[in-house]
Amino acid sequence: MTDDAAKFVGSIPEHYDRYLGPRIFADFAQDLAARLSQQDPKSVLELAAGTGIVSRAIRDALPGNCELVATDLNEPMLEAAREKFQDAEPIQFRQADAMALPFSDESFDALACQFGVMFFPDKLESYVEAHRVLKPGGRYIFSVWDSWTYNPFAQLAHEAVADFFPANPPGFYKVPFGYRDTDTISASLLEAGFAKASHDVVSIDSAIPSSSDFATGLVFGNPLFDEIIARNGNPDEIRLAVSAAIEAGLGDKMPLQAIVITAEKG
């Protein structure tokens, strides 16, 4: 299971996919899919697939005879992911816990996960499971966000929201940007049984055609929304404040930076 902060349910998947997907996830999805295609896998398991942004990129990048299984703990996210595919396309969707994968040992040539590991409460156990289901020589490619310094939209959103709750600010935006130390990540992967681990830093610039739309995603498209409701806040009022902060702090373009980890099973 994942942290409460990782429960993407209700109306969250729709806002996540529409307003955050094109701005902060799509370009990194293309990068991850390209890395997978270079490995020429015959079977791929995706963890924390969300609304299928990466799933779609992977399916487009790999041959049709490559088996692709997309999993997520949250069934509402998978429902949104299914809408990106025709019925006849070769992909399976499974609800699955990344720390207790419902697959046999050595089932897949490659594993992929974009911006999901940060939400796993027992990261070491998730790595043990990833190692277990990988075939010998297989690779686990996953991405984590770098710090707020390189992803200023997150700090702007966090601070704009915190102004409404000075005594008890929501902490959602600290979660996805708080797991980035590559030495710690590599040590955990080696402890889980992987033979080696390496990383690349991927930086992009992303357009912000509408600060209002982007703010809608930042407030309504993740579990921050539930944190606001739990504090009796007004999400619409907060969205306006986040929009103003994004427009003033970033304008119509923002830098983004991720760290892509590649772990190889011996």
The pLDDT value recorded for residue 106 is 98
Taking the CA atoms of 59, 62, 68 and 70 in sequence, report the sign of the dihedral they define: negative
Say what the pTM is.
0.94
The pLDDT value recorded for residue 10 is 73
Q: Any idea what the Cα angle at residue 27 is, between residues 12 and 235, rounded to 5°?
A: 25
262 pairs with which residues across the strands?
Answer: 141, 198
The pLDDT value recorded for residue 5 is 43
Q: What is the mean pLDDT of the chain?
A: 95
**Residue 139 is inside which H or E element, if any?**
strand 134-145
Model confidence at 153, in pLDDT bands (50, 70, 90)? very high
Q: What is the pLDDT of residues 203-229, one digit of tens each?
A: 999 999 999 999 999 999 999 999 999
Nearest 5°: phi and psi at 221? -105, 20
Rounded CA-CA distance 241/256 in Å is 21
What torsion do the CA atoms of 56, 24, 176, 83 make, to the nearest 10 degrees? -30
